[in-house]
Amino acid sequence: LRTGELESHHFPVGYPLFVAFWLKLTGSFVSVRLAHVALSVWTIALVGKVAEQLFGRRAGLAAVWMTALYPPLMFMNGRVMSENLFIALLMLSMHRFLIADRSGKVADGVIAGALFAVSALVRSNLLVMLPFVPLWQLLDRPGANSALLAIRSWVPAWPVLKQRLVLAVATSAVAGVIVLLPGFYFLEVKGEVLPSAPNAGQTFYGANNPIANGGWVQMEDHQEYLASIPTEVRRKPSAYSKAQFQ
């Protein structure tokens, strides 16, 4: 908001952009918290829809009530935490994957994969799951066109196999571009390719340090344990993260 440039050395870029939008629009964190409430209501509806698609109407209704009464979801509503946006986007991608399964359309699958990648820009722990998306699209699943079935009966099912391969390749390409976008941005404005979340070192050391008590400690409040890291290293988020790993 101050410089017009995105600077994030702790959170992945998705949530800071979300918060910046509401702060720019209203200038108040109240709007961010109200947006969280709206996202949580949307999440409840999406969880119900996904459960209904998989297991029927009664399961969908039960899932709605279980999600609505889930204490951590209530707790996060009033706090500035990326989980609020992440859970909503992840459930939306799950919903779209189910729609893609039933429609068999490549475009629907690519949209679902793109939403999954956007979710990974909000919470980077989802990045490790990205390679499994195209594999999942090729697996033999009830209600979906099956690549394995196509392999079993190669000649008559080749169009089906071809469609599934096109879907997996297209999804991987779109998701890959989305995940790499922050790196391209930081290369342009900072001259350094930064991953979507260069906070792994801070997170690791926060739970593995001399004063860790089984939880997570904000080490920025205990500079005596970071004194050995030179100032020039701290200026670069990726190098600072590596230093804390070491």
Q: What would the pLDDT profile of 114-143 be if each residue is shown by its tens digit?
A: 999 999 999 888 888 888 888 888 775 555
Q: What pLDDT shows up at residue 235? A: 67
Instruction: Check residue 81 and report its DSSP letter.
Output: -
Instruction: Check residue 221 and report its DSSP letter.
Output: G
In the predicted model, is pLDDT for residue 149 greater than 70? Answer: no
In the predicted model, is pLDDT for residue 5 greater than 60? Answer: no
Give 177-215 pLDDT, tens digit per residue.
998 888 887 777 777 776 666 666 677 777 887 887 777
Q: What pLDDT shows up at residue 68? A: 93
More confident residue, 198 or 161: 161
Rounded distance, CA 90 to CA 122, Å?
Answer: 10
Question: DSSP letters of 124-164?
Answer: GGGGGGTTHHHHHHHS--TTS--HHHHHHTTTTTHHHHHHH
Q: What pLDDT shows up at residue 155? A: 38
Give this prediction's pTM. Answer: 0.78
Rounded distance, CA 140 to CA 129, Å?
Answer: 19
pLDDT band at 150 (very low <50, low <70, confident <90, very high): very low
Mean residue pLDDT of the chain comes to: 81
Q: Mean pLDDT over residues 205-226, rounded?
A: 78
Rounded distance, CA 129 to CA 110, Å?
Answer: 16
Query: Within 10 Å of residue 27's Cβ, how many Cβ atoms?
Result: 10
CB 106 within 8 A of CB 170: yes
More confident residue, 216 or 155: 216
Rounded distance, CA 90 to CA 94, Å?
Answer: 6
Give 59-106 pLDDT, tens digit per residue.
999 999 999 999 988 888 878 888 999 999 999 999 999 998 888 788
Q: In a 3-state reduction of DSSP, which class is residue 177? A: helix
